[in-house]
């Protein structure tokens, strides 16, 4: 008896049945099986089940739903659990796509976003009303790297009769498992660390069946299904995610320590530094002494300084996304958070010169040399520094 070591890719969009009764039972969900890949596909299901095993290795009742992208996962989660008249408390500092969904789209359907600093438990509790149905948080915020106190948020959400939903893309289950701290649903942009090689796009939502059911229904009805070839690549990436995240986090810790005092850097944020506002929370919630592979730097001279720093890099790529084996940099205000105006950027703690560095698996000394020369170039250039 033998079995394939690689995950089989089932590219069929439709599945045949022996009888009409069999078809009806599978489509109705009374017996397991596959009918149409927008509903379920074997390769996509295998990927989702593998993620669930990483997020909740000891919980047999936790499942997962695969999506075509992280934003598809976020959209289905919010639309599956919120309706007209509801309120959702969310971070003022969150991913730009999430911010746009919260502020541009949800109000069209009568859902009110309440955007505040979710690291302030007192402020979160004060923001709760009779209409609060959800608290939405990011384990490590994009791009400010603020760390959420998940147990405190879970308590507030549950006392209000709502749910805690956590985007844990930046952490991955290698660093933090939000379900263990009371989260009801955890989601990821699988494009990032799970895939790990910048060659596949996907998303996933993890939780128990009573919370996952509405998300599944929204996925099926809205059509954000994960393609089997993408699922194969994402599943393959899961096999090395622990190794990559450990390496990337170790390198990021070294870089943060070496760059924090550079004169071109007005402020450097990394959860592993004692100077980080939520360093204590990170130490309490994160696993194995890992603090992630993202570093945020506020470059002096504002927008011009931040973009000049990016342009001077040689090893680090100017590119979207994060979490892959390649080190990447983005100027937040003009790319990942371009949806936010100046006031919203300021409210989120995103300075005009803020850059987000995603550390890859390259040689740490090579990366350090590249980052230092780029910062030196900002100091030596024609940009007027704001000190």
d(CA 376, CA 366): 15
> In whole angstroms, what is the distance from residue 120 CA to residue 31 CA?
46
In the block, residue with structure tokens 């379900």: 179
> What strands lie across the sheet with 163-167, from one edge to the other?
62-67, 203-208, 185-189, 163-167, 132-138, 87-91, 112-116
Residue 59: strand pairing partners:
none
User: What does the alpha-carbon distance between residue 377 and residue 370 come to, in Å, rounded to a whole number?
Assistant: 11
Q: Supply the residues annotated as catalytic.
A: 38, 95, 167, 192
Rg of the chain on CA atoms, in Å:
21
Q: Which of 199, 82, 212 is nearest to 134 (CA)?
A: 82
Count of residues making up the chain: 387
- 3-class DSSP assignment, residue 290: coil
- 114 alpha-carbon distance from chain centroid: 20
């Amino acid at each position: 008896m033998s079995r394939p070591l690689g995950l089989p890719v089932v590219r069929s969009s439709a599945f045949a049945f022996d009888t009409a009764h069999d078809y009806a039972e599978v489509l109705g969900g009374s017996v397991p099986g596959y009918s149409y890949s927008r509903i379920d596909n074997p390769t996509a299901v295998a990927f989702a089940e593998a993620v669930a095993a990483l997020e909740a290795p000891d919980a047999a009742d936790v499942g997962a739903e695969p999506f075509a992208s992280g934003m598809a996962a976020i959209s289905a989660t919010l639309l599956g659990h919120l309706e007209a008249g509801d309120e959702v408390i969310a971070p003022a500092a969150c991913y730009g796509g999430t911010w746009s969904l919260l502020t541009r789209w949800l109000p069209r359907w009568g859902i009110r976003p309440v955007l505040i600093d979710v690291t302030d438990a007192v402020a979160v509790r004060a923001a709760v009303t009779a209409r609060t149905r959800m608290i939405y948080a990011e384990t490590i915020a994009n791009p400010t790297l603020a760390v959420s106190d998940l147990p405190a948020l879970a308590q507030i959400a549950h006392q209000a009769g709502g749910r805690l939903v956590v985007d844990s893309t930046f952490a991955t289950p290698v660093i933090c498992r939000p379900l263990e701290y009371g989260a009801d649903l955890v989601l990821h942009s699988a494009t990032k660390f799970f895939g790990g090689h910048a060659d596949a796009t996907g998303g996933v939502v993890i939780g128990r069946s009573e919370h996952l059911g509405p998300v599944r229904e929204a996925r099926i009805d809205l059509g954000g299904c994960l393609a089997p070839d993408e699922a194969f690549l994402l599943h393959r990436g899961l096999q090395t995610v622990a190794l990559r995240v450990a390496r990337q986090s170790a390198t990021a810790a070294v870089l943060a320590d070496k760059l924090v005092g550079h004169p071109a850097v007005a402020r450097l944020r990394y959860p592993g530094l004692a100077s980080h506002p939520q360093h204590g929370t990170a130490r309490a919630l994160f696993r194995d002494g890992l603090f992630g592979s993202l570093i945020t730097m506020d470059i002096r001279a504002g927008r011009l300084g931040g973009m000049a720093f990016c342009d001077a890099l040689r090893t680090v790529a100017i590119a979207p996304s994060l979490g892959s084996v390649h080190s990447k940099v983005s100027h937040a205000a003009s790319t990942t958070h371009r949806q936010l105006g100046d006031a919203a950027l300021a409210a989120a703690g995103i300075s005009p010169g803020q850059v987000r560095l995603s550390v890859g698996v390259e040689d740490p000394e090579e990366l350090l040399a590249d980052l230092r020369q780029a910062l030196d170039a900002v100091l030596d250039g024609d940009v007027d520094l704001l000190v």
